[in-house]
Every structure is written in C-alpha cells, then in structure tokens.
Structure 1
C-alpha cells in the first residue's frame, strides 16, 4: 500500500499542526511539501528540520517544485481570499484540494456526516472549526426528527484566533450557517462565534440548540442515543471531543413566538434540544486550549486519508 503525497499551503498555526499530524499519525499520507510566503516562519523552519521540502514562494513555488506532479492532495490553510487565488492557480493541474478556510468554493465536508458523498470532488471545504464541532450534532438530531431551526455558538480562546480567523469572522458565520442546513439537515440555521479573552485561556466550548416537534419520552431517548453515538464517531478522530453534560430537552408551548427563528413554522408544541460540547486539542503543535484548530486539522486529515483510499480503490477497479 503506497502513501498518497500531500502538500500544505500555509505555514501558520493550522498548517503547521496539520503537517505534524500527517508526519506523526498518518499511515496513508506522506508529507511532500510545506508552502508559505514568509521564509522566517516557524512552520517552514520546522518543516525543514523535519525533512520536508519547503518553499516560501507561495503556490507558484509549489508548482515549480520538482516533485509537484507526484502530489495527490493539497491542503489550503491560508485564508478565504487566498484560497480563491490558490484554487485558480492549481486548477489546471488536477490536484485534489482540501480547503480549511471559509471560502466554500467546493462542497462542505464533515467527516462524521456522509464523508463519502464528495470523494470525487476536486475541491472540498472543511466548513469551520465551529461547524466541524457542531454540525455532527445537528445531523444526529435530524436523523431522529426534523430540525426546524439549528443554532450553534462556538466559544474559542482569543489566543487561538490568529489573524486568518479574525479576518474571516463574517465568512465563518455565513459558511457555518449554510453548512448547518446543507450538511446538518436543519431547515434554517444560525452560527455565532465568541472570542473569549479569559486568561488562562479556556478550551473550546460549543452549544448546539435544535428546535424540533414536541418529543415524548421514547423520542427523547432516541435523540440522546443518536447524539451520544455521534460524539463517539467524532471522538474517533478528535480524541478531545466530548459532551459536557447529558442532552437537555425543554418543551415550548404552541403559543410561544418562534417565527423569528423559522418564519415557515406554524404554531404547535415544540421541544428545544440543547447539547453542550467541549473540544480539547491534542497538543501536537498547538496548546490544548486550541481545540478549535485541532478539530479542523484532525477532520482534514481524516478526509485526505479517505480520499487516498478511494482513489486507490478506483484505480484498482480500473486496472
């Protein structure tokens, strides 16, 4: 079994953590190149020390590298605006792109939810850290009962929010909202991000609120079971992902005004499902409180490995 060669664009925190995960954890991927634009960045320096080929000339430098043709998958850990240009530059070469920015050029992918739906897509989007943490929960609830409205609040340490995150707050909320609907299955979605300035820094916390039809005891047990199983599925590739407490259910009277959440809803008894999560980082490169970044790199690694497996299987059938 050969390893698929990968490159990482972006030598900042996310790209460097991803590189280290590929080197330490993956039996299916081979780290072929680290790409940046700052020759003095820590990410490029670490890559060189770890024997990884580097370039500080951005995507143009990657394309010019002697082994570029052998690279199967390219991770983009830059910014939404930069990814648009990077994708355009790489399109003629037929590389598979995994986008860790909120650019959302390609379809949204959350590994725990229908991972195999887009394995042939040339460019897939990893949504956002908040999306990776919460969309599986919305999908778990939607697997049992229709979700009329899904709202997520992602609270991350201010220290773990680098310039890329801060420059893409609007894209974060819009991309996450869209993925709550398209991947999570909610009829309508909303996303909120909170940069928590607490010192010492707190690890990532996520709240998921789902508005559903009135649930009786059997349905509540089914929803709680579905959420618990989904948490285990995500924790298989993000070990620090966990429930903070049991799933909560709150009944809402038919007279309550909920049309601001979903104007298509008619008055009826409803139930709010509340799920509280915590995401602790693995500490490969980033501190444990940066679970928001760890879940992105862990999810991207899982997608790349599945892409390589899929491509190998297709090639085997073709021959």
Structure 2
C-alpha cells in the first residue's frame, strides 16, 4: 500500500484567506493527504490562487466536493450561513467535518483543553479564532477560582478578515461567548470584536478581564503559563503579553503572530484556528 493511501484523504471547502492558509498547512503535514480545495466560483481569486499553488481545485462548493470521491475529513472554511447545508450533505457519509466557521454547531473542541474528545465525534466545531486564543487561558483560570464575569476583546488587522469573517461577526460573538460559558461555567460573559485598519497592521490580540472570587495569584499565574505553553505546541507565535492579578480581578492579554506559511505575521487569527484544525486532523491520522 502506498504511503498516500495510509494517510487520511482530506479536502478544504472554501478558498478564502483561511482556506488557502489551511491548505498550505495541510500540504506541509506528513500525515495528511490533501485531495482537493473546493470553492464556489472558478473565477474567484482564492480558487485561482490555489490552482497556481499546485492544488487540485474544483468549483461548485459542496456539490463538487461530493463528486471528488470518498474523503476521510473535510475542513469547512466557508461561512456560518452555509455550514448547516454542508453538514447535511456529509452527515450520511463516513466523512468527519471540522467546522472553522462560528456556527456553534457540532462538538465544540479546543485542542489543548478537550482535544481528546474529538475522537468521539464526526462533526467538530472550533468556535472562532478568538475562542481558540482565549479559552485555554480562561479555562485554566476557572480551574483555580470561580469567575463571576468574563469580558473578552479581540482585535485583528482589517486585512486579515475576509468577506466571510465580516459577514459572520454576529455569529462569531455569539459562538465565542457560548463556548466561554461552557468551558468556564460562567454565566455573565461579554465578547467584543475590533477590526483595526492601522498601518502597520497590528498582530492579533485578545484581551481578557475576569472578575472572580478566591483568587490566589501564584497558582493563577502558573496555570496561565502552562496553558500558553500547551497552545504554543501547535501555534508557536502565541504569547501572553500582559498579566495582572489583583484581589477580585484578573487582566490578561495574549497575542498571536503567524509563523511560517504564506500569510503575513499579523494574521495570527488565521494561524491559531488553522493550527488547531490541522492538529486535530493529525491526531485523527494517528488513530
């Protein structure tokens, strides 16, 4: 049996900013076999770029993907409004669907927190880029104290947010807040998003404020450091840039710088969610 036949056959659905970077990450993986990048419009810039990069491409969206033959895994990098249709098309197949759109559908997975649960599901949701950056830190905090309020502000470069991201901002906020509530058992959660047009473009930044009872600074700091180290295993550009722990209040900010690939350094939002997706796929391959 050839090496490619032993590797999971995967496809990327969507040829926007996220989809193209995801395809590049998959191609660099020794454990995954990228069979197709599918988009809606053959003349779209993203699909033309994917073809120029040497990927097998197809237009027609989910219909084209279904015609491509059996696939072990599909990454949905399109938009939240289309995802339910894509899952309906794949539900009765043996394909695992990893959702990179902020639908809140499927099993919500943050690799460094509950990645082990992914093996039990064929429909996986990765929350949002802000969720992937914040939840490991917030979950670590919630294991050391009892948050009563969590506020999160994500700031990304305007150039790193494609059309689908802009159209899905309401879903992004709702899905991220719901996931934070689930992972921290905190009812009062507020999520905000900023797209910055500043030049030079700023790195992806997530600022978190936690109000809580029973705060002990040393264990909190240690838990945050450990959580950050776990995230860096698949997103090397992740770092904690500020941390303040006071009586009743924790303020922490993280930045994500994209490393490697074709995306600019400021596009850490793409880097972290795509890194999470590829990690889960490689774990699938190992099984």
Q: TM class by shorter-chain length?
A: over 0.9
Q: Aligned residue for 1:39?
A: 42
- What SS does structure 1 have at the residue aligned with 2:112? coil
Alignment of 1:111-260 (within 5 A): 111-215=111-215, 219-245=216-242, 247-251=243-247
Q: CA deviation at 1:48?
A: 3.1
Q: Is the 8 A contact 2:235 2:272 kept in 1?
A: yes
TM-score w.r.t. structure 2 length? 0.94
Q: Aligned residue for 2:254?
A: 277
Q: CA deviation at 1:6?
A: 0.7
Q: Is the 8 A contact 1:76 1:98 kept in 2?
A: yes
How far apart, in 2, do the equivalents of 1:5 and 1:120 lie?
19
Structure 1 vs Structure 2 CA RMSD: 1.5
Deviations 1:20-61 (A, max 9, x none): 00111x222111111001213344334434543221111111
- What SS does structure 2 have at the residue aligned with 1:183? helix
Q: Which runs of 5+ in 1 are unaligned?
A: 252-270, 313-319
Q: Which runs of 5+ in 2 are unaligned?
A: none
Matched residue count: 283
**Greater than 6 Å deviation, 4+ residue runs:** none
How far apart, in 2, do the equivalents of 1:192 and 1:87 lie?
28
Q: CA deviation at 1:283?
A: 4.4
Deviations 1:213-255 (A, max 9, x none): 143xxx210010000010011011111100113x21233xxxx
Q: Is the 8 A contact 2:118 2:280 kept in 1?
A: no
Q: Is the 8 A contact 1:138 1:186 kept in 2?
A: no
Q: Does residue 271 of structure 2 align to residue 288 of structure 1?
A: no
How far apart, in 1, do the equivalents of 2:105 and 2:114 lie?
19
Larger Rg computed on CA atoms: 1
Q: Aligned residue for 2:11?
A: 7
